[in-house]
Structures are given as structure tokens and as C-alpha cells.
């Protein structure tokens, strides 16, 4: 540095209580061909004030001074420093090896006994100290850069998982002595994969960056916000006074995300699922606490839209069960753990058999029959439903063919579809293939979609629904009356049949309101020229009620429960 520009002025601060020594140093510096601009001070305190008032290139520091010595000044300078400080040369009247080492350890770049000071020696010491100081600075900067790389997420600039886990552990250890709570928010963006899949990873990255900025704006500086990976983030709140406070932070973040994020010209509105866990209430251990947050996040995911959930003990039990069901599902097809049962659909006036609804059952290793209400949502969340749905389609259609051939009756088969199955063309391809392979008349197959599933309908799913119709199969709107019961769904979609949910069957003949409602619904649907199946018929008065309304199709425990193939054959075809 200085060798390249030998005659650039060097600003020197001399701190020495001994005026004779200061003069000696100044004399030598004056003799050098290198120009020095010298400022002097006779004490550490004064030196520190002067140091702060200018940008010195080097400090020549006497070790022995009356109130505070040179090493104390170096240590204090570290707390004053702009940038990384200034090169320091320690001078001492003693030729002490230990003192030399102590000075270098404290942060001086060179040590020079006063007895050895000559013009050349002091000039060289200053130049060496400056060079050494420059190298040290570069080293420190490169260390900080690699530390940043190791600790920071490069996309968002947030702390990474490593820092988060370490900090949580430290905070929990510190928290053990406090009566404060420590709160954890773990969250991810719902369906983030879709943004990547549809718009590409570059857009996905911008969305993640904007997302991180938006969330950050809801937080205080001291709240550790980290990106754990992908679209998964965490926030640690120390000094939490109550769980209410944690819930409020989650709410604030969710509200802030109601405004869309923009990536280029496209706007994205994202929902998040937030899991909340609290130390020491939920766990004393950092890893366990993260697990609690994760479990709560899973729970939040089961809700539509942005949602935050606190961890509670029963969740653990639910989570373990969920995990168990998911692992049974994973190998259900290979291990023959799936079977279909069939519930007859009959004419309520004559008890005449019209057809069946295929209903899926899962058997655990121990022989426990798991209800579809439990395993279907799990299969939907893990996309296993696609494979399961294909299995159901094949088996139900094959069974229909067997019964039609065996009985020569014009039987129908209703098959439930998950909205997830409408996300790919596989459904239509398989449906067409099975119709051909088994030589089935397409209207004998009725595919049931629930109303809540229709809320997720977009253009491509709608075109697949229309594809089902084009194949000639019938379409039913299942569970009508439980969700939105929207008339617009009845008009917009190519539906043939509405299945009235069991919950709208009047519980007693005296329930005047529900009876009127049912009658009105039936009239409305009939006026739209749609077919009706009444579900959940359990009592003879319900059978009578729907027969009086001239419904020709009903399903319910009063007629038959869902039955195995063997029992259906025994009951109907022997």
C-alpha cells in the first residue's frame, strides 16, 4: 500500500505521557522522507477523544502511562472503532518479550522498544503495522463473508436453519432462569409448489423474497426470523409474556399477507399455515419444541386459507395416528389392505334395487377397519389419493360388470372422486380405458364430486369434469346441504344428480322446519331437471317423506348398510 504511494501523507497520533519521548519520536518522524501529519496527546483519555475526532492512519502508543496504560487504550479503541480501527504500534521503555506479546495479542500490529527507535526503525514499524493491519482487515472481512454464507440464507438474507437451531438452544438455556416464555412460530406457504411449477423457479424466488420482506415488516429487530429451507420459515420470540402475544404476531403476519405480493407484473396472494409452540409450556427441549411447532403447523394446514394453530398435547396423539395411517396407506395397494364395500341405492317406494355406491375401506395390520373420513383427507394431502382413486375406479367398474353380467340387470355404480384426482388427465384416460375394457354403458357409471371440491375448480379441472360428461358418464354433486349448497354450482356444472346429504334429513316427523326445507329443496332441484338421491335414510318416516316427494332413489341404513361383495350377492342375487 504505502510502497505504491510512498509520499502520501500519513496521519499519526502519538499517545505518550512523556514529553521528552514524544519529542524524540516527532524528531525521527520529521527526518523521514515520508511526510507525517502528527497529532499528540499525553494521556489515554485525551488520546481517545482525539482518535474519535479524526481518521488516523496509525497510533503510536506508549505502554506505560500513569492512569491507564497502552493495552487498556487498545482494548477501549476496539469499542470505538469505525471500520475495523487503525494500525497501532506499541512503544515501551522496557524491552520486555511478554509485554510485546501482550500488546500484539491485544490488537497492536507492532511493538518497538523506545531504546531502539531510530528514524528508519520507526518509519519501518509504521509501514509494517499498516501493511499488517490491511492484511488483518482483509482476513476479517473474508471471515465475515464466509460466516455470512454459512449463517445466512442467500436468497432472503435471513438467518438459516443452523443459526435458528443454535439460537433457539441458547435462548432456551438462558430462558431456564427467567420466568418469561419463549415462543416459536413455524410456517410455510400453502401450495407454494404450484407457484414454482406454474411460473418457474425464478418467479418463485422473487415471491419468497417479497414474502420474507413482508413478514419482516411485522417483526421487531430482536425477533429472530429465519428461513429453514424451501418455503419454510421460523420466528423465535423471546421474553414472551403470554401465548396471546404469540397469537397476535401470527395474526399480524397473516393480515399483512392479505395484500398481494408482486413478482414482475404478476401478483400473488399467498396463504400461510402457522404452527405455534411455547417454551416451557410445550417442551423444555429445543428439538422437541420445533417438533411441537411442526405438528401444530400440520394441523393448521388442514384448514382452508391462512391459519395459525397452537400446539396442544392431544395433537401429538393425532399426529402419531396420522403418521400411522399414512404409512398404512403407503403400501396399502401392494399389501392388499384396500377393499370396497357397496351400499345399495334403492327406490324408496318399492325397495327395488337401482345400483350401488362404492365406498373404500382400509384395513390396518391388526385388522382394524379405518374409515374413509379419516384416511381420505390424509391421502389427499399426500397425493396418494391419485393412486387410490385409480384403484377404486378399476375395481368398482370391474365389479359393476360382473354383477351386470351375472344378473342381466341394468345396475349403476356410483364412484366418489376426490378433487385432487381432477388435477391430472389420468382420470379421464383410465375411465375411458375401463369403459372399453369392460364394455360398460357409460351412463351406468356416476361419478360423485363433493360441493367443497367444486370450490377449487379452475379451468383445467372444469374441462376434465366436462370430459367425464363427454365420455357419457353421469355426474353427481355429493353431500348437498352440508357446505355451501350453492344453486350456482347446480347451474354452472354439467350435473345429472344431486345427492341430498343425511344431515338435511329431518330427524323426526315433528321437525316442521326441516321438513319444509327438504320439500322446498326437492322442488327446486326437480325444477332444474336434476335427478335426486336421498342419503342417510334411517327411519321409515324419512322413507315415507321422500317417497311422498316422488324421489326414486335413496340410500341409507334403513335399506342396507354398505356391504361386502359376498353379502350383496347373498342379499340380492341368490
Chain residues in the site for ligand C2E (CB under 6 A) = 343, 359-360, 371-373, 376, 392, 416-418, 448, 478-479, 502, 535-538, 555-557, 562
Binding track over 368-407 against Mg ion, x by CB under 5 A: ----------------------------------------
Compute the Cα dihedral for 551, 556, 560, 561 and give only its sign.
Answer: positive
Query: What's the rounded Cα separation, in Å, for the pair 322 and 365?
Result: 15
Nearer to Mg ion, 65 or 411 (CB): 411
Residues 6 or more apart in contact with residue 249 via CB below 8 angstroms: 183, 185, 218, 219, 223, 235, 237
Which of Mg ion, ligand C2E, none binds 359 (CB below 5-8 Å, type-dependent)? ligand C2E
Q: CB of residue 393 vs ligand C2E: minimum separation in angstroms? A: 9
Q: Does 418 participate in binding Mg ion (rule CB under 5 A)?
A: no
Interface region with Mg ion, contact rule CB under 5 A, candidates 101-109, 308-316, 336-344, 473-481: 473-481
Q: CB of residue 499 vs Mg ion: minimum separation in angstroms? A: 5
Of residues 437 through 466, those in contact with Mg ion by CB under 5 A are: 448
Residue choice 343, 416, 421, 552 for contact with Mg ion (CB under 5 A): 416
Q: Does 57 participate in binding Mg ion (rule CB under 5 A)?
A: no
At residue 112, φ and ψ (nearest 5 deg) are -140, 120
Q: CB of residue 348 vs ligand C2E: minimum separation in angstroms? A: 12
Interface region with Mg ion, contact rule CB under 5 A, candidates 179-187, 204-212, 416-424, 514-522: 416-424
Contact 338, 362 (CB under 8 A): yes
Contact 87, 109 (CB under 8 A): yes
Q: Does 497 participate in binding Mg ion (rule CB under 5 A)?
A: no
Closest CA to 517 of 508, 506, 507: 506
Which of ligand C2E, Mg ion, none binds 377 (CB below 5-8 Å, type-dependent)? none
Query: What's the rounded Cα separation, in Å, for the pair 377 and 138?
Result: 57
Nearer to Mg ion, 261 or 477 (CB): 477
The neighbour count for residue 214, using CB atoms within 10 Å, is 15
Closest CA to 252 of 218, 227, 280, 216: 218
Which of Mg ion, ligand C2E, none binds 231 (CB below 5-8 Å, type-dependent)? none
Which of Mg ion, ligand C2E, none binds 343 (CB below 5-8 Å, type-dependent)? ligand C2E
Per-residue CA distances from 326 to 319, 362, 373, 380, 453 (Å): 10, 11, 14, 10, 22
Q: Does 110 participate in binding Mg ion (rule CB under 5 A)?
A: no
Residues 6 or more apart in contact with residue 405 via CB below 8 angstroms: none
Q: CB of residue 461 vs ligand C2E: minimum separation in angstroms? A: 14
Query: What's the rounded Cα separation, in Å, for the pair 65 and 12?
Result: 19
Query: What's the rounded Cα separation, in Å, for the pair 381 and 124?
Result: 72
Of residues 244 through 263, those in contact with Mg ion by CB under 5 A are: none
The neighbour count for residue 236, using CB atoms within 10 Å, is 23
Contact 346, 572 (CB under 8 A): no
Closest CA to 499 of 371, 354, 392, 357: 357
Q: What angle do CA 376, 377, 379 make, to 5 degrees?
A: 60
Nearer to ligand C2E, 86 or 390 (CB): 390
Nearer to ligand C2E, 268 or 342 (CB): 342
Residues 6 or more apart in contact with residue 243 via CB below 8 angstroms: 181, 183, 276, 278, 281, 310
Which of ligand C2E, Mg ion, none binds 277 (CB below 5-8 Å, type-dependent)? none
β-sheet with 272-279: strand ranges across? 224-229, 232-240, 181-189, 272-279, 307-310
Q: CB of residue 476 vs Mg ion: minimum separation in angstroms? A: 7
Of residues 534 through 563, those in contact with Mg ion by CB under 5 A are: 535
Q: CB of residue 479 vs ligand C2E: minimum separation in angstroms? A: 5
Q: Does 479 participate in binding Mg ion (rule CB under 5 A)?
A: yes
Q: CB of residue 309 vs ligand C2E: minimum separation in angstroms? A: 24
Residue choice 153, 188, 444, 478 for contact with Mg ion (CB under 5 A): 478
Q: CB of residue 387 vs ligand C2E: minimum separation in angstroms? A: 12
Nearer to Mg ion, 373 or 510 (CB): 373
Q: CB of residue 488 vs Mg ion: minimum separation in angstroms? A: 20
Q: CB of residue 514 vs ligand C2E: minimum separation in angstroms? A: 16
Which of Mg ion, ligand C2E, none binds 371 (CB below 5-8 Å, type-dependent)? ligand C2E
Query: What's the rounded Cα separation, in Å, for the pair 316 and 331?
Result: 23
Cis-peptide into 280, omega within 30 deg: yes
Contact 496, 468 (CB under 8 A): no
Nearer to ligand C2E, 62 or 479 (CB): 479
Q: CB of residue 199 vs ligand C2E: minimum separation in angstroms? A: 29
Residues that bind Mg ion (CB under 5 A): 416, 448, 478-479, 535
Amino acid at each position: 500500500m504505502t510502497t505504491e504511494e510512498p509520499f502520501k501523507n500519513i496521519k499519526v497520533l502519538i499517545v505518550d505521557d512523556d514529553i521528552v519521548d514524544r519529542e524524540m519520536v516527532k524528531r525521527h518522524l520529521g527526518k523521514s522522507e515520508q511526510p507525517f501529519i502528527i497529532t499528540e496527546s499525553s494521556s489515554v483519555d485525551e488520546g481517545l477523544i482525539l482518535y474519535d475526532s479524526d481518521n488516523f492512519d496509525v497510533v503510536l502508543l506508549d505502554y506505560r502511562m500513569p492512569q491507564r496504560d497502552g493495552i487498556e487504550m487498545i482494548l477501549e479503541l476496539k469499542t470505538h472503532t469505525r471500520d475495523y480501527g487503525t494500525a497501532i504500534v506499541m512503544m515501551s521503555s522496557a524491552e520486555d518479550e511478554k509485554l510485546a506479546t501482550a500488546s500484539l495479542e491485544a490488537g497492536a500490529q507492532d511493538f518497538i522498544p523506545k531504546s531502539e527507535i531510530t528514524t528508519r526503525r520507526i518509519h519501518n514499524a509504521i509501514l509494517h503495522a499498516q501493511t499488517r493491519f490491511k492484511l488483518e482487515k482483509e482476513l476479517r472481512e473474508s471471515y465475515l463473508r464466509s460466516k455470512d454464507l454459512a449463517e445466512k440464507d442467500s436468497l432472503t438474507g435471513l438467518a438459516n436453519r443452523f443459526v435458528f437451531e443454535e439460537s433457539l438452544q441458547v435462548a432456551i438455556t438462558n430462558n431456564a432462569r427467567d420466568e418469561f416464555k419463549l415462543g416459536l412460530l413455524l410456517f410455510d406457504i400453502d401450495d407454494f409448489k404450484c407457484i414454482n411449477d406454474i411460473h418457474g423457479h425464478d418467479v418463485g424466488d422473487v415471491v419468497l423474497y417479497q414474502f420474507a420482506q413482508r413478514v419482516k415488516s411485522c417483526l421487531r429487530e430482536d425477533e429472530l426470523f429465519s428461513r429453514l429451507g424451501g418455503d419454510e420459515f421460523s420466528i423465535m420470540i423471546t421474553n414472551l409474556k403470554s401465548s396471546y402475544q404469540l397469537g397476535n404476531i401470527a395474526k399480524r403476519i397473516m393480515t399483512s399477507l392479505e395484500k398481494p405480493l408482486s413478482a414482475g407484473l404478476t401478483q400473488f396472494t399467498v396463504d400461510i399455515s402457522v404452527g405455534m409452540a411455547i417454551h416451557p409450556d410445550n417442551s423444555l427441549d429445543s428439538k422437541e419444541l420445533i417438533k411441537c411447532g411442526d405438528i401444530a403447523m400440520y394441523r393448521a394446514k388442514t384448514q382452508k386459507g391462512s391459519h395459525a394453530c397452537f400446539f396442544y398435547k392431544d395433537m401429538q396423539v393425532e399426529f402419531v395416528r396420522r403418521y400411522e395411517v399414512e404409512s398404512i396407506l403407503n403400501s396399502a395397494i401392494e399389501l392388499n389392505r384396500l377393499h370396497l364395500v357397496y351400499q345399495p341405492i334403492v327406490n324408496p317406494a318399492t325397495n327395488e334395487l337401482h345400483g350401488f355406491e362404492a365406498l373404500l375401506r382400509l384395513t390396518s395390520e391388526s385388522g382394524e377397519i379405518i374409515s374413509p373420513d379419516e384416511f381420505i383427507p390424509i391421502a389427499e394431502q399426500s397425493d396418494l389419493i391419485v393412486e387410490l382413486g385409480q384403484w377404486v375406479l378399476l375395481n368398482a367398474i370391474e365389479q359393476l360388470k360382473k354383477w351386470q353380467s351375472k344378473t342381466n340387470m341394468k345396475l349403476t355404480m356410483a364412484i366418489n372422486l376426490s378433487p385432487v384426482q381432477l388435477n391430472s388427465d389420468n382420470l379421464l384416460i383410465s375411465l375411458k380405458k375401463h369403459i372399453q375394457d369392460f364394455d360398460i354403458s357409460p351412463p351406468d357409471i356416476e361419478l360423485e364430486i363433493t360441493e367443497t371440491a367444486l370450490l377449487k375448480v379452475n379451468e383445467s379441472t372444469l374441462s376434465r369434469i366436462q370430459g367425464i360428461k363427454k365420455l357419457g358418464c353421469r355426474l353427481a354433486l355429493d353431500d348437498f346441504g352440508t357446505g355451501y349448497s350453492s344453486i350456482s354450482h347446480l347451474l354452472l356444472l354439467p350435473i345429472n344428480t344431486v345427492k341430498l346429504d343425511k344431515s338435511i334429513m329431518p330427524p323426526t316427523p315433528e321437525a316442521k322446519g326441516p321438513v319444509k326445507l327438504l320439500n322446498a329443496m326437492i322442488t327446486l332441484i326437480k325444477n332444474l331437471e336434476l335427478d335426486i338421491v336421498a342419503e342417510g335414510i334411517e327411519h321409515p318416516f324419512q322413507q315415507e317423506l321422500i317417497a311422498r316427494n316422488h324421489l326414486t332413489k335413496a340410500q341409507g341404513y334403513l335399506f342396507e348398510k354398505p356391504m361386502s361383495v359376498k353379502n350383496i350377492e347373498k342379499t340380492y342375487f341368490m
